[in-house]
Chains A and B, each alone.
Chain A
């Protein structure tokens, strides 16, 4: 059992690393491409002969696959539902000193563009602080605010706006 867990942990870390690499290439295209596909990062626990193994590491891996934090309108506070995900990323960064991540802050299209740059930066900084609370180092984290310039979803609907108020975690190595 211990071996299985160990393998799973390796798989989890590997999948994150692999995703990070593909992110760098895809960074210029749509925002959706920064979210890794689930197929490449399944850990194998499900295929273990029907035994329901729900390890901490698998949960961590699942959390690590989440790379987008969403925000409420005109808010930069991270909602509680994203705490576990950011804790997983923060712990991963704390254990992997060479890993670096770029935090890309974004807003919806409403209001002034430059003020939205400020809002996007504030969101990126909120995420940065939570990652550092888990032990990530400042040198591992960079922020960039795109404001409303790089929407994940176009259109002027509540749903598009919800998807656009976000911080994306983009691993570079």
Chain B
């Protein structure tokens, strides 16, 4: 792909402050094919008091129609979190694009706490400069001001970058608009044939790209910590195997196809090891680590029970997993060098699929009780459980890299859909697919500069 990405500009003097933006936007990557499935995010339960903000349509500094509507993407990003209530453009009395045009009193009358204005300029064919400023309307002062430069193919990414900066400035939480998610879709054809796809999209569901496509099940996608590779399970050839695929090139390696179960891959935080579940011939599932460079396999658990769904602590020293050694499935942890596992979850009869928050303090689980399955959050220190969701068949929780949100799969009117919940359980959104069932969402890491 053309090496467009992203320079981010030098700081410009914008009223009172100087800022130096130094982050590169993620480079564009090559994909197999565009996906049919796209996602629409609905706020099912907004924050109690979403922040009123106005994102004014950006000025366009060249001839012809504007190359891209940055403000529309920023508005959608902020709204999708449930934490913001953007003012509809139709309700804007004025549409300033320069700081000098801003009349704070008129925005206060619209009960807007924050105001975003900006301009997009075409510097040369395929080179653009976006300038934006965030104002605290109540205080009547500028909070942020940045200039970003990008090629045409990176204008959407530029909008997400702007959203990230605004979101972090106002909430204190890093934005995740520039991250990606992976998920599995299944479509049923007229002849009852099934089509499984592994899809990677931007966090807002746009730019969906098919990573793998099979008539046999695909499952358990897992991101590498550098966001460049995905591990997943494929049943092509009527047997389970784990693949690691490089997203940019599409090349993939079959890293485990032993007899029986090959499943539940999870990259270690340094990307060197893959935790996985194997059953070998005897059908007893245990958790192992596989050194991806040397192929060395190390067994972490030895119980006769089902031991599976490994997930790493952020420091890479501990592996959490599901085991039904005490009857029903519960969460346990074991050191990366093995040893005696310790039980972590006690609340309820079914706690499975642990996933650690980025700070390692919270474990998202599938919590089963009275024939319903919801997403729970277990305190890693004391095992206390909070139930976060209200569905009947919720599964596959995955933390956003800022730790503020958990994406998961649920069912709505018989269809598989995705949903998200804030880690405090207060904000909920549903992410519906345009076509087919979608499931097993996994949130990718922050893009690396």
Chain A residues with CB under 8 Å of chain B are 27-30, 74, 102, 104, 109-115, 117-119, 121-122, 124-125, 128, 138, 142-147, 149-150, 154-156
**29 A-B interface contacts by CB (under 8 A):** A28-B216, A110-B371, A110-B393, A111-B329, A111-B395, A112-B309, A112-B352, A112-B353, A113-B353, A113-B396, A114-B219, A114-B309, A114-B322, A114-B353, A115-B322, A115-B352, A117-B261, A117-B263, A117-B308, A118-B277, A121-B260, A124-B283, A143-B283, A144-B238, A144-B239, A145-B260, A149-B217, A150-B217, A154-B414
Q: Are B329 and A112 neighbours in the complex by a CB distance under 8 Å? A: yes
CA–CA, A150 and B194, complex, Å: 9
Given contacts A111-B368, A114-B264, contact A122 B215 (CB under 8 A): no
Q: CB-CB < 8 A to A110: which residues of B?
A: 368, 371, 373, 393
**Of B235, B282, B283, most A-chain CB atoms within 10 Å:** B283
CA–CA, A115 and B308, complex, Å: 7
Q: Which 6 A-B pairs have the closest CB atoms?
A: A118-B306, A125-B283, A149-B217, A112-B352, A112-B353, A114-B264
Q: Are A111 and B352 neighbours in the complex by a CB distance under 8 Å? A: yes
Q: Does B100 contact A (CB under 8 A)?
A: no
CA–CA, A65 and B352, complex, Å: 37
Q: Does B366 contact A (CB under 8 A)?
A: yes
Q: CB-CB < 8 A to B219: which residues of A?
A: 113-114, 147, 149
Q: CB-CB < 8 A to A144: which residues of B?
A: 235, 238-240, 260
Q: CB-CB < 8 A to A122: which residues of B?
A: 283, 306
For residue B73, give the distance in angstroms from its CB to the closest CB of chain A.
33
For residue B102, give the distance in angstroms from its CB to the closest CB of chain A.
51
Q: Are B366 and A112 neighbours in the complex by a CB distance under 8 Å? A: yes
Q: CB-CB < 8 A to A138: which residues of B?
A: 281
CA–CA, A143 and B278, complex, Å: 13
Q: Are B260 and A143 neighbours in the complex by a CB distance under 8 Å? A: yes
Q: Are B414 and A155 neighbours in the complex by a CB distance under 8 Å? A: yes
CA–CA, A114 and B212, complex, Å: 19
Q: Does B285 contact A (CB under 8 A)?
A: yes
Q: Mark interface residues in B344-368 (1 if CB within 8 Å of A CB, else 0).
A: 0000001011000000000000101
Interface of chain A, main secondary structure: mixed
Q: CB-CB < 8 A to A109: which residues of B?
A: 393
For residue A101, give the distance in angstroms from its CB to the closest CB of chain B.
12
For residue A43, give the distance in angstroms from its CB to the closest CB of chain B.
30
CA–CA, A27 and B277, complex, Å: 25
Apart from A112-B395, A118-B261, list 10 A-B contacts with CB within 8 A.
A104-B238, A112-B322, A112-B366, A112-B396, A114-B220, A114-B309, A114-B353, A143-B283, A145-B261, A154-B414
Q: Does B294 contact A (CB under 8 A)?
A: no
For residue B238, give the distance in angstroms from its CB to the closest CB of chain A.
6
For residue A118, give the distance in angstroms from its CB to the closest CB of chain B.
3
Q: Are B395 and A121 neighbours in the complex by a CB distance under 8 Å? A: no
Given contacts A110-B371, A111-B368, contact A102 B261 (CB under 8 A): no
Q: Mark interface residues in B374-412 (1 if CB within 8 Å of A CB, else 0).
A: 000000000000000000110110000000000000010
Q: Mark interface residues in B252-263 (1 if CB within 8 Å of A CB, else 0).
A: 000000011101
Given contacts A112-B353, A121-B285, A145-B240, contact A30 B192 (CB under 8 A): yes
CA–CA, A144 and B392, complex, Å: 28
Q: Are A156 and B283 neighbours in the complex by a CB distance under 8 Å? A: no
CA–CA, A119 and B308, complex, Å: 11
Given contacts A121-B285, A156-B414, contact A114 B239 (CB under 8 A): no
Q: Does B133 contact A (CB under 8 A)?
A: no
Q: CB-CB < 8 A to B366: which residues of A?
A: 111-112
Q: Are B240 and A118 neighbours in the complex by a CB distance under 8 Å? A: no
Given contacts A110-B368, A111-B366, A149-B235, contact A156 B393 (CB under 8 A): yes
**Of B216, B285, B324, B373, most A-chain CB atoms within 10 Å:** B285
Q: Are B215 and A28 neighbours in the complex by a CB distance under 8 Å? A: yes
Q: CB-CB < 8 A to A74: which residues of B?
A: 328
Q: CB-CB < 8 A to A114: which residues of B?
A: 219-220, 263-264, 277, 308-309, 322, 352-353
CA–CA, A150 and B193, complex, Å: 11
CA–CA, A119 and B309, complex, Å: 13
Q: Does B299 contact A (CB under 8 A)?
A: no
Q: Does B154 contact A (CB under 8 A)?
A: no
For residue A74, give the distance in angstroms from its CB to the closest CB of chain B.
8
Q: CB-CB < 8 A to A150: which residues of B?
A: 217
Q: Are A115 and B353 neighbours in the complex by a CB distance under 8 Å? A: yes
Please, which residue of chain A has its CB at the minimum distance from the CB of B282? Answer: A125
Given contacts A121-B285, A138-B281, A143-B283, contact A115 B306 (CB under 8 A): yes
Q: CB-CB < 8 A to A111: which residues of B?
A: 329, 350, 352, 366, 368, 373, 395
Q: Are B259 and A113 neighbours in the complex by a CB distance under 8 Å? A: no
Given contacts A118-B306, A155-B414, contact A146 B217 (CB under 8 A): yes
Q: Are A128 and B283 neighbours in the complex by a CB distance under 8 Å? A: yes
CA–CA, A147 and B215, complex, Å: 16
Q: Mark interface residues in B174-196 (1 if CB within 8 Å of A CB, else 0).
A: 00000000000000000111000
Q: Does B440 contact A (CB under 8 A)?
A: yes
For residue B396, give the distance in angstroms from its CB to the closest CB of chain A.
7
Q: CB-CB < 8 A to B246: which residues of A?
A: none
CA–CA, A34 and B192, complex, Å: 14
Q: CB-CB < 8 A to B328: which residues of A?
A: 74
Please, which residue of chain B has its CB at the minimum distance from the CB of A155? Answer: B414
CA–CA, A115 and B264, complex, Å: 9
CA–CA, A145 and B238, complex, Å: 10
For residue A123, give the distance in angstroms from its CB to the closest CB of chain B.
10
